[in-house]
Every structure is written in C-alpha cells, then in structure tokens.
Amino acid sequence: MTPRHASEPGDGGAPAEGAGPDRAAQAPVAQPDPEVAQARTPEMGRTGVPSEDVDAPLDHRPGVSGVATPGGGWRKADGPSASGREKRKRRGRRGGARDGDPTVGDADFQSYYGRQIVKSAVWKTPDVPLYLFLGGAAGSSAVLGAGAEFTGRPALARAAHLVAGGGAIASVGFLIHDLGRPERFLHMLRVFKPTSPLSVGSYILSPFSTAAGGAAALTLLSGVPAVRRSRGWFPRLVRSAGLRRTASVGAAAFGGPMAAYTAVLLANTATPSWHEPGNQLPFVFTGSALAAGGGLCMAFTPVDQAGPARSAAVVGAAVELAAMHKVEHDHGIVSEPFHIGRAGKLLRAARACTSAGAVGAALVGGRRWGAVASGALLAAGSLLTRFGVFDAGMASSKDPKYVVIPQRERLAARAAADSSPKDA
C-alpha cells in the first residue's frame, strides 16, 4: 500500500492528461492538443483540475482511487486519452465537408469503444429510397391528373394517370419486397395506429394505389382497339369519363398525404439526422414530390397542355431546395451527415440537378426538348435527394457522436435552465 499512500492527493482527481512524461511520450503528435494545453494553465495547477476539486474531502484520503472518485480522470484504457486518438483518426478518415459547407468540429465525447448506440434502419437500399421517390412522384402526379381531367387537358391527364398509377403500383411492390416476411404484408392492416407512421401510411397507400392504379388501368384499357370499338357494357364502363374521373379524384385526395407521410416515416425514429429535422423533412419530401411528378408529367406531355405541370415542378423544386437548405444547416452536428461522405455527394448532385431542372423548366420548358431535358433533371434531382437523405440518416446512426453530443447538449441546457431560477 505504500506507493499509494505516497501518491499525492491530487491524483484522485487528476485527469490522465495532467502533466506527465507518459502523456508526452505516447501522444503521436508533437503539438500538445488543446486539452493538454488547458490542463497546464496555472489556474488549473499541475494536477490538471481546479484547485477546489483537489481540496475536496474525498481526495484527502490516502490511496483514494477507483470507484469512489468523482470523475477521477478515468479514460478508456490503452493510452492517455482514447478519445483523443479517436479524434485524430477521425480527422484523417473524413476530412470534413467541402466547399465551405459548415462542419462542426469534432467535440470530445465518450462512447463504448466507438460502437453505435442506436441501431441503423434495416430497410433495404435501393428499395426504400426508390419507394420514397416513386410514392412522392405518384402523389403529386395524381393531383395533377385530377386537375387535368377537369380542365380539358387529356394528354396531361393521360401522362399523369400513368405516372401516378405506375409509381403507386411499383412502390407497393418495393414496400412489400422490403418486408422481412413479405407473405405477411396484410398484417399491416390488422390495426390502425396513429403513433405508427407506417400504419397510417398503409391506410394511405392502400386506397391511393387502388385509385391511382385504377385510373391508370382505365386510361390504358380505353386505348385498346377492341375496347374502343366494342359496344358491350364493360367497354362502355371502361370508356366512361365518369369512372376515370372518380378514380382520379380518389387518387388526388390521397396524393398529398402519400407524398408527405414518408417524411414522418423517417423522422419518427431515433436516427438523429432523420429525427431532428422532422418538421422540415415533410416540406423537403413534398417539394421533391412536386418536382419529380411535375417533371415527369411535363416530359411526357405536349408542351401546350403541360403548363400546370411545369409550374408545379418549378415551385416544388424551389420548396425542396429551401427546405433542404434548412435541414442541412439548422441542426448543428446532426446536420453534418448531410455534408459528408456518400450522402454529401448525393445531395450536392441532387442540388445541381434540381436547380438546373427548375431553371430549365422555367426558361425552356415551353419547348419539347427543353421540357424533356428539364423534366428528367428534376426527376433525377428528386431521386438523388431521397437517396441522400436516406444515406445521411444511416450514417448518423452508425456514429455514436451524433447520439451522444446532442443529448449531452440537451442535458446541459436543461441543467442550466434548472439552475438559473435559483440564481435569479
């Protein structure tokens, strides 16, 4: 016990970064990092803790160590400051964002061997990002289709019905394929739970895909020569504008919710970069849906009928860009995954495509080639946005810092709020 008794009292509270030869010898960088510099300032004393901590009664006891010491200077083993090493490693690995994008400096935080805390979504790529894209494009196309039905734009109505129906049916397929037990997809309709966006979404997707698919099927069938010529009751029913209009109105009624609920689906998780911007993601997704649906409809429609699709696409792209800007910049460290890695690349490409498509649609959307080119760009931008947002969330779940640091800040803010009334 002698060596312990001999140790000076400050040891009890001294962080490992305190002045000591082992620190200097093991730190791979010659420059002392800020933590060390701070620990060496005169006010902190050579123990590296404020003097009042050193004088705390606990530390007067001889041989004080182990579980009894507050803070105690414990660091992850194998080195003076494992978090410091982690930081250096991070800096090399990532390199931060490009092009003046704001990045948050790697703050100090602790974790369990750097392992992730929340689980990443088990949703498959590309199934779910494609579902987000198709569902959005179908939703806004359905609204455009209904508008076109009642304003005498048969070509726009036809294109919109086909985009909406095709997108709806395909998205149902992707969603079922993504289930771990696809044969049990009808279990989704066992209950209705407003606390589960996926349950609410099931009750949006089912009627939407039925109506949109129906409108698309009627549109396709009425073009078949046998149906067009026949006088039987069924061909007449298929040809009737009333039935098609009813279906298109039904699809349009669920079109907005269809495009918006998928944002809540992602946001209502513990995944930091999806949850934090949860109030802005719906606008990103509906804006993106308008851009994609409007873009696709205007690409497949003669320009003289495509005016509404064009304006929807341009406004939608503007909403998408504005809302996405807020998502990417308003949330501190949780916004970081939107700038770095694969998500950062996807979202930069998305921004370029969407901006170019919107400008193109506004300037040259009145010409056939311009409509096709800018429509394709808008759809591509929307697709890339969905993949980028999906990727950013997945990345944020894999790094414990996006969980720990915001929650620490939250605790600190709460502690400050709790203590301030006492001071006042």
Partner 1 sequence: MSQISSASPAFTGNDPENRLFGPLPDVTGEAGYEPDHPARVGFFTDTSVCIGCKACEVACKEWNTLPMDDADGNRDALGLSGMSYDNTGMLGANSWRHVAFVEQSRSVDLPMPAIGAPAAPGQGVGSAGGCGGSCGSAETPSHANADGVTIDQHSVLNAQALSSFDPQTAQSADREIRWLMSSDVCKHCTHAGCLDVCPTGALFRTEFGTVVVQDDICNGCGYCVPACPYGVIDQRKDDGRVFKCTMCYDRLTDGLQPACATACPTQSIQFGDLDELQARADARLATLTEQGVTTARLYGRDTDDGVGGAGAFFLLLDEPEVYGLPPDPVVTTRDLPSMWRHAAGAAAMLVGVALSGFLGRRR
Q: Judged by CB under 8 A, which stretch of 96-104, 178-186, 242-250, 364-372 contacts partner 1?
A: 178-186
83 counts as binding partner 1 under rule CB under 8 A:
no
Rule CB under 8 A: which of 255-314 touch partner 1?
A: 255-257, 259-261, 263-265, 267-271, 274-275, 278-280, 282-283, 285-286, 289-290, 293-294, 305, 307-312
How far is CA 253 from its chain centroid? Answer: 26
424 counts as binding partner 1 under rule CB under 8 A:
no
Q: Judged by CB under 8 A, which stretch of 14-22, 99-107, 350-358, 373-381 contacts partner 1?
A: 14-22
> Considering only CA atoms, which of 395, 200, 163 is closest in space to residue 299?
163
63 counts as binding partner 1 under rule CB under 8 A:
yes
Is 317 within 8 Å of 357 (Cβ atoms)?
Answer: yes
4 counts as binding partner 1 under rule CB under 8 A:
yes
Residue/partner pairs of 119-126 with CB below 8 Å, 24 or more apart: 119/397, 120/271, 120/394, 120/397, 120/398, 121/269, 121/271, 121/393, 121/394, 121/397, 122/180, 123/178, 124/177, 124/178, 125/387, 125/390, 126/387
Tell me which of 42, 112, 229, 233 binds partner 1, using CB under 8 A: 112
Looking at beta carbons only, is 348 or 365 nearer to partner 1? 365
Buried b (16+ CB within 10 A) or exposed e, 87-120: beeeeeeeeebeeebebbebeebebeeeeebbee
Structure tokens at 5: 């008794």
Tell me which of 33, 90, 103, 110 binds partner 1, using CB under 8 A: 110
Tell me which of 319, 321, 358, 361 binds partner 1, using CB under 8 A: 319
Tell me which of 20, 235, 332, 341 binds partner 1, using CB under 8 A: 20
25 counts as binding partner 1 under rule CB under 8 A:
no
Q: How far apart are CA 323 and CA 80, in angstroms?
A: 44
332 counts as binding partner 1 under rule CB under 8 A:
no
Is 320 within 8 Å of 328 (Cβ atoms)?
Answer: no
356 counts as binding partner 1 under rule CB under 8 A:
no
C-alpha distances out from residue 222 to 121, 212, 214, Å: 43, 15, 12
Minimum distance of partner 1 from residue 284's CB (angstroms): 9
Tell me which of 104, 178, 239, 341 binds partner 1, using CB under 8 A: 178
Minimum distance of partner 1 from residue 307's CB (angstroms): 6
Rule CB under 8 A: which of 188-217 touch partner 1?
A: 188, 190-199, 201-202
